[in-house]
Amino acid sequence: MKSSLKTFALASITACALFGITSQGTAQVAVGVDPSQNWIGFMNVFNLPADGGAYQFGSSWGTSDLRASFGGNTLTLAPNINVWETTDTYWVKADGISPNKNMDANMYVQNDALAGQNITFFGETLANTLVSPYTITAFIKDFNASYSLVGSQTISLSSGQFFDINLATNPGDHIQYGFEMIGPDANPATAASLGLVQVVPEPSTLALLGLGLAAPFFVRRRK
């Protein structure tokens, strides 16, 4: 059944996936890996754990600079190579071959219209070939008006596995969902050996969303 459902086209999940049920007055909504949404890139930079791991800075980045991009419905994420410069010891150690910073790359959608709702973020991990120490998670985050984190849910991504996470959010907050990859800045010459991640919309859930059956589906899956 899984393979046959892969023929379903991507739905506009954020706009159309209201389940039409409530829990203690809170609407429930599903969002997915939707290339039609406005995906944002943000990078946090830290010293390497071996060097104490201190936070350095954070700033908005182009999604291509993160090495996060859509090809059709498939989102591919890979270790960052954008800062590699062997003559700059801020990013590369003096040996010219070892990374000198830990990169926390975030590829996400911010949709504050979701605030105050119970949100489910779901998809399918086609592949995760990242090598240690690189890690990747899917997340939902709830920030207050001053962007202090007040709630979050995360899940690690595994090859060939579906993921879904749920978070009850507060009215008036900033709501983000997406993916976070953490690991050293990478040498472009060897980056291919470090692996990548590919995620897509979950086809079975897309089909159920189209039939208005997504809510009972989530209940059954989690039992």
Question: pLDDT (tens digit, 9 = 90+) per residue, 27-79?
Answer: 899 999 999 999 999 999 999 999 999 999 999 999 999 999 999 999 999 99
Mean local confidence (pLDDT), 161-187 = 97
Distance between CA atoms of residues 100 and 52, nearest Å: 12
Helix (H, G, I), strand (E, B), or coil: what is residue 106?
A: strand
**Percent of the chain, pLDDT > 70?**
79
Calculate the CA 26 to chain-centre distance.
Answer: 24
Position with higher pLDDT, 6 vs 126: 126
Distance between CA atoms of residues 63 and 40, nearest Å: 6
Question: pLDDT (tens digit, 9 = 90+) per residue, 10-20?
Answer: 333 333 443 33
Give me Rg for the CA atoms of the chain: 18
Residue extents of the structural domains in the chain: 2-222
Angle at 197 between CA 178 and CA 143, to 5 degrees: 15
Question: pLDDT (tens digit, 9 = 90+) per residue, 109-141?
Answer: 999 999 999 999 999 999 999 999 999 999 999
Distance between CA atoms of residues 1 and 195, nearest Å: 29
pTM: 0.83
| Length of the chain counted residue by residue | 223
> Looking up tokens 């219209």, which residue turns up?
113
pLDDT band at 25 (very low <50, low <70, confident <90, very high): low
Residue 182, burial from CB neighbour count under 10 angstroms (0-12, 13-18, 19+): middle
Question: In terms of Cα–Cα distance, which of 30, 13, 72, 59 is closest to 217?
Answer: 30
Distance between CA atoms of residues 46 and 210, nearest Å: 43
Question: In terms of Cα–Cα distance, which of 108, 130, 104 is closest to 121?
Answer: 108
Tokens representing 183? 């690991």
